[in-house]
Structure 1
C-alpha cells in the first residue's frame, strides 16, 4: 500500500530586521533616557527642598546628604504660621499677582489688537521700538525708575509694583502673534455690520484668544509671584512684604531658620505648581498658536 504524503507548507523565512527601524528605536530610547535624566536633575533641588522642610536645622546640611528625613518633623508646617507672618505674605503676594496679571491681560491684548489689526503711520516702527525694550535689562533703568516712583509718592506702596508691571512688551508681542493668526475677514465683516474697533476687540477677538490669554496670564502670574528684587527695592514696610521678602527675613545676622525657610519655600511653590498643572494644556496650545514654538 502506497504511503500517502501530505504537502506541508514550508516554514516562513526569518524576517529580516530593518536597520532603519532599529536606528529609530535606538534613537528614541536614547532620547527618552536623556529626557529622564534631565527631568531628574531638574526635580532634584525641589525634592531636596521638600525633604529639608521635614528636618530640623542641624540635619539640613549634614554630610553625606540625608535624602530621607528620620524622623520627619511635620511640626515645621505648623511653626511657620506661628513664627512668621506667612498668611499676610501669601495674601499680599496673591493680591499683587492677581492685580498685575489682570492689568497685563487688559493692556497687552488691547495694545496688541492695535498693532495687529489696525493700520496707522509708523505702526511697525513703533512696535519694533516697543518690543526692543525687552532686550534692555531692568537693572539699566532701575535707578531712574525708583526716582520717578519716589517723586510720584508711590515708593513703599503696592501701587509702585502695580504701576511698574501693569504694562509688558512681551505680553503685547505674544498677543499680537496670536491675533495675526485670526482671519482678517472676521474683522472686516464686523466693520461692515457697524461694530467699532473696541467692540470688535471685545466681542470677537478676545473670545477667540483663550489659549494666548491663558499663556500670558500664567507667565505674568509666575513672574510676579517669584519677583524678589522689585519688592526688595520698593516695599520697605513689613506690613506689605511679599512672600519672597518675608522668607528673607527669617535669616538674621546671627542665626537662620533654614528648616522654616524650606517650609515656607514649599508653601510658596505650591500655588504656582497647582496653577501650572491646571493651565498646562492652555499654555502649550497658546505657545504653539502664537508663533513662539521652536
Structure 2
C-alpha cells in the first residue's frame, strides 16, 4: 500500500498539470480567435450605424438605430453591381485557368520522364523567388502591345497560371501510385482519359486548396487591375472600393457595407471547399 500511494499521487499530479496546460492553451486560442473576429464584428457594426455614431467615444458596438438601408443605398447610388460582376468574371476565369494549366503541368512534371524535366521544374521554382514588382512593367508592356488594356483579356490571361500552383499539383501527384496509371494504360486508356478519369478525381483535395488560394488572391487583387484598367466598365471591386472612397467622400458606414459585401464571395468559396481543404491539410500533416 505504501508503494502504491506515491504512484497514485504522481498520476493525479500529472493529470492536473495536463488539465492546466490544456486550459491555458484553450484560453490562448480563445483570445486569438477574439482578436481575429473583432475587426469583422466592428465592420458589421459600423455598416449598420448612422454616420454620427462612427467616431463616438466610447465605441458603440450596438447601433442606436439599425441603418439597414446603408447596403441598399450604396448598391443603388454607386456601380457596385458592375464591380462585383467584373470581379466574379475575372476571379472565376483565373481560377479555372489555373486549375487547368497547373494540373496539366504538375501531371507532366510528376508522371513523365523526359530530357530537361528537372531543369524546367527548377526554373518554375526559381520564378517563385522573383519579386512581383520586378515583373509588373514588362508584363504591362506585353499586355499593352497586344491591345489588352481595358479588357478582360488583360485582367485574366496574365494570371492564368502560377508557379505555386504547379509546385502544389506536382507535389500532390507524385503521391499517386504509378502502378495505377500503368494498369490503366494496359487496359487501353489514353493519356487524356487517365488524366481526366484518374488523376483529377484523386487530386480533389489539392485542386480545392489551389482554387481557394487563387480565387482569394485574384478577388483581392488591386495593383494589377489599377494598371490595366482606365475604363470604369472593367474595374474590379477592390479598385472600385478605393475609388468609391475618394470620389464620394468617406461615408464610413457605406464603405464598411461595401467591404462586408466584398467578403461574401470568398467566404462562400471557402465554405463550399473547406472539407477538401481541411482534408488536404490533414493528409499533409500525416505524411509529414
For the pair 1:215 / 2:214, whether they are aligned, the reply is no
Q: How does 1:124-135 map to 2 (within 5 A)?
A: 124-135=118-129
Structure 2 distance, partners of 1:270, 1:46, is 12
Which position in structure 2 is the counterpart of 1:66?
A: 60
Which position in structure 2 is the counterpart of 1:120?
A: 114
Which position in structure 2 is the counterpart of 1:55?
A: 49
Match of 1:85 among 69, 79, 82: 79
Distance 1:279 1:256, change over 3 A: same
Deviations 1:53-97 (A, max 9, x none): 011333223333222211121110110111111111111111111
**Which consecutive segments of 4 or more residues in structure 1 shift more than 4 A?**
290-294
Which position in structure 2 is the counterpart of 1:21?
A: 15
3-state DSSP class of the match of 2:246? coil
Structure 1 position 269, deviation (Å): 0.5
Which position in structure 1 is the counterpart of 2:184?
A: 190
Which position in structure 1 is the counterpart of 2:141?
A: 147
Unpaired stretches in structure 2, ≥5 consecutive residues: none
Structure 1 distance, partners of 2:248, 2:147, is 35
Which position in structure 1 is the counterpart of 2:271?
A: 277
- Give the TM-score taking structure 2 as reference length: 0.91
Structure 1 distance, partners of 2:245, 2:286, is 40
Structure 1 position 153, deviation (Å): 0.7
Structure 1 position 257, deviation (Å): 2.1
- Give the TM-score taking structure 1 as reference length: 0.90
Is this contact kept in 2: 1:218–1:275, CA < 8 A?
yes
Structure 1 position 253, deviation (Å): 6.2
Is this contact kept in 2: 1:101–1:220, CA < 8 A?
yes
Q: How does 1:258-269 map to 2 (within 5 A)?
A: 258-269=252-263
Q: How does 1:166-177 map to 2 (within 5 A)?
A: 166-177=160-171
| Higher helix content, 1 or 2 | 2
For the pair 1:229 / 2:223, whether they are aligned, the reply is yes
Which position in structure 1 is the counterpart of 2:105?
A: 111
Structure 2 distance, partners of 1:274, 1:291, is 25
Q: How does 1:239-258 map to 2 (within 5 A)?
A: 239-252=233-246, 255-258=249-252
3-state DSSP class of the match of 1:68? coil
Structure 1 position 263, deviation (Å): 0.3
For the pair 1:95 / 2:89, whether they are aligned, the reply is yes
Is this contact kept in 1: 2:94–2:218, CA < 8 A?
yes
Distance 1:293 1:101, change over 3 A: farther
Mean CA deviation greater in 183-192 or 109-118: 183-192
Equivalent pairs, count: 282
Is this contact kept in 2: 1:212–1:287, CA < 8 A?
no
For the pair shown, the structure with the greater C-alpha radius of gyration is 1
Distance 1:293 1:93, change over 3 A: farther
